[in-house]
Amino acid sequence: RICYVNGQFVSESNANISIFDRGFLFADSVYEVNLVLHKALIDSQGHLTRLAYSLNEVGIPMPMPQDELMAIQRAIIEKNQLVHGAIYLQVTRGQDADRDFLPSKTIQPNVVIIPQPKNLLENPLADLGIRVMAFPEIRWAKRNIKSTGLLGAVLAKQAAVDNGFDDAWFIEAGLVTEGSANNAFIIKGNRLITKAPNAQILNGITRRAILTMATTHGLTLEERDFSLDEAKSADEAFVTSATMLVIPVIQIDETIIGDGKPGALTKQMRQIYLDTGLNHQLP
């Protein structure tokens, strides 16, 4: 793979970052995962706007204008002949001379961009659905910032897989916040229910696209908290993310959702997302 590191395109074996990088030492960094389908960036503007938001929230300067980041991502697609997959983009606060919580004022952000080829369109989980395990919300309080401090998500995912599940849903005070790396949705009748965006969740780019599509396809939208119990009694459930797109949830803990197969409306949501995927417009 050809990657981008601080102004240079390099092979992955030559892509190096200092051991004093603050992203490495403190997870003092933010990231984005941009979707690529048919060699095109999907909702890239949304991802870059969210990157700018994350950077601003933690006081890391935007390393370059958004259109330059866009151009680098396009170059990564070309240099790697990337057809379907993701582009991982990370900006750290930079590196100091030594490990110190207080960053020096003169450091420059480190920017790393990595292509991740994957046939996201033919994901077997789209037909199988996934089984999710409820897991206590152990992450920090600012989950609307896309920080690389992901230990909570790693532990949740590991626990889920160790227990025979595919993924975890975080539970806070009996309420579902989101999946380990995706947003959680339930459907009851023709009502699509998902948590309203606040600091408890990452406001997914795919989530926003789905909400726009859902209302134009006759679903009633309820952006509100929902409990684990309500989720278990839902007709359908699914998760969204840039790399999963829309993936049905067929089981939560020991409870089978609906008839244990991907729900009809969920499948429709995935299809609509794919059909319109190259022209997503965020509100």
Rounded to the nearest whole angstrom, what is the least distance from the CB of residue 132 to ligand PMP in the complex? 13
The contact mask relative to ligand PMP for 4-43 (x = CB under 6 A, - = no) is -----------------------------x----------
Q: Which is nearer to ligand PMP, 89 or 252 (CB)?
A: 89
Rounded to the nearest whole angstrom, what is the least distance from the CB of residue 282 to ligand PMP in the complex? 11
Q: Which one of 36, 113, 202, 250 is in contact with ligand PMP (CB under 6 A)? A: 202
Q: Shortest Cβ contact with ligand PMP: which residue?
A: 204
Q: Which is nearer to ligand PMP, 95 or 206 (CB)?
A: 206
Sheet holding 40-42, edge to edge: 8-11, 2-5, 110-117, 85-92, 29-37, 40-42
**177 near ligand PMP, rule: CB under 6 A:** no
The contact mask relative to ligand PMP for 82-111 (x = CB under 6 A, - = no) is ------------------------------
Rounded to the nearest whole angstrom, what is the least distance from the CB of residue 53 to ligand PMP in the complex? 12
Contacts with 209 (C-beta within 8 Å, 6 or more apart), sequence order: 43, 273, 280, 282
**181 near ligand PMP, rule: CB under 6 A:** yes
Which tokens in the block code for residue 105? Answer: 């004022």
Q: Which one of 73, 182, 251, 266 is in contact with ligand PMP (CB under 6 A)? A: 182
Q: Which one of 131, 157, 195, 207 is in contact with ligand PMP (CB under 6 A)? A: 207
Residue ranges in 221-240 that form contacts with ligand PMP under rule CB under 6 A: 240
Which of 216, 170, 209, 214 minimizes the C-alpha distance to 193? 214
Q: Which one of 91, 130, 205, 269 is in contact with ligand PMP (CB under 6 A)? A: 205
Rounded to the nearest whole angstrom, what is the least distance from the CB of residue 213 to ligand PMP in the complex? 13
**206 near ligand PMP, rule: CB under 6 A:** yes
What is the b/e burial string over 98-120, where b = at least 16 CB atoms within 10 angstroms of the residue's CB?
eeeeebeeebebbbbbbbbeeeb
Residue ranges in 107-126 that form contacts with ligand PMP under rule CB under 6 A: none
Q: Which one of 114, 176, 242, 252 is in contact with ligand PMP (CB under 6 A)? A: 242
**Are the C-beta atoms of residues 210 and 240 closer than 8 Å to each other?**
yes
Cα–Cα distance measured from residue 34 to residue 73, given in angstroms and rounded to the nearest whole number: 9
- Give the interface size with ligand PMP as a residue count (CB under 6 A): 13
Q: Which is nearer to ligand PMP, 80 or 180 (CB)?
A: 180
Which tokens in the block code for residue 183? Answer: 């947003």
Give the active site residues: 146
Site of interaction with ligand PMP (CB under 6 A): 33, 178, 181-183, 202, 204-207, 240-242
